[in-house]
Amino acid sequence: GIIAETKKALNTLTEAQQQAAKELADWQVRFDEAKTADDLNGLMPETAKASDAARDNVKRLLVSVGKTKGFAFDAKAKAFTQAAA
């Protein structure tokens, strides 16, 4: 019935959320391994390959990790620079 369908939909959503969280964790590892602004810049085009469910968060994570590493993000150029502004 309706309750079973609702539960199934909720479980599917949960699986999708779990997949997006795993994908984000995988990106976190890749971003953490980047040593330079150029390393992060090189990963930017690859973020477009992230799933629809994770893509926006992947891009936010990239900017956050870059700033944490002390790189400045030039929004106009859409690139990190070596020294924080």
Q: Which two tokens stand for residue 29?
A: 């590892």
Average pLDDT, the chain: 91
Would you place residue 13 in the very low, low, confident or very high pLDDT band (cuts 50, 70, 90)? Answer: confident
Looking at residue 11, what is its pLDDT?
A: 80
Looking at residue 9, what is its pLDDT?
A: 80
pLDDT in tens, 46-85: 999 999 989 999 999 999 999 999 999 999 999 999 874 4
Looking at residue 84, what is its pLDDT?
A: 46
